[in-house]
Amino acid sequence: MKAVGIVRKVDHLGRIVLPKELRNIMQIHPQDGVEIFVDGDQIILKKYNPACVLCGKMEQLFYYKDKIVCQECIQEISKYAQNVAE
């Protein structure tokens, strides 16, 4: 992990502001998601990159029952279901 040397205070609502320079480096844009992890006494922020829950691909994604699945996995599941039904 790299130390950046930037300190920000938490406001009365618990918010912090990510500096513009950091957002630019990490390519974080308004409305992008950020994942929050806790590791011991550390809080880790990571840019959220949605991926298929089955294969991990990040292209052609769809939400199904609050899960993210790619088009390729949907097609494979559909073929599997047809074979099982026969």
**Joined tokens for residue 9:** 């205070």
Per-residue pLDDT of 38-83, as tens digits, reads: 999 999 999 888 899 999 999 999 998 989 999 999 999 999 998 8
CA atoms 33, 2, 44, 62: torsion sign: positive
Q: Can you read off the two tokens belonging to residue 71? A: 């088009």
Q: What is the pLDDT of residue 1?
A: 64
The residue extents of the domains of the chain are: 1-48, 50-86
Kindly report, residue by residue over 22-34, the tens digit of the pLDDT: 999 999 999 999 9
What is the CATH number assigned to the segment(s) 1-48?
Answer: 2.10.260.10
Full-model pTM: 0.58
Question: Distance of alpha carbon 78 from its chain centroid, rounded?
Answer: 26
Residues ≥6 apart with Cβ < 8 Å to 63:
69
